[in-house]
Amino acid sequence: MDAEAAKLIGAGLAMIGAIGGGLGIGVVVSGAVQGIARNPAASGEIQTNMILGIAFAEAVAIYCLVVALLILFVF
């Protein structure tokens, strides 16, 4: 196989990990929205914690993205 083609396939495969980040963010936001619906007065605090949770879940997807970018533009 051509090295360039293998690189492209590898970058695509690396992004499979984004599934985890997507699922995680979905779970976080679903929980936060349910919490806000039950107790709208606490929405400010819940939103802050939700954004933090999203950031942690998203970090995993970002690692995949960085690996894909490294494969594409560095190696």
Indicate the SS3 state at residue 1: coil
65 binds other proteins (CB under 8 A): yes
Q: Which is nearer to other proteins, 27 or 70 (CB)?
A: 70
39 binds other proteins (CB under 8 A): no
29 binds other proteins (CB under 8 A): no
What is the chain's percent helix, strand, coil content, to nearest 5? Answer: 95, 0, 5
CB of 53 to other proteins, least distance (A): 11
43 binds other proteins (CB under 8 A): no
**Is residue 16 within 8 Å of residue 65, measured between CB atoms?**
no
**What letter would DSSP give residue 75?**
-
15 binds other proteins (CB under 8 A): no
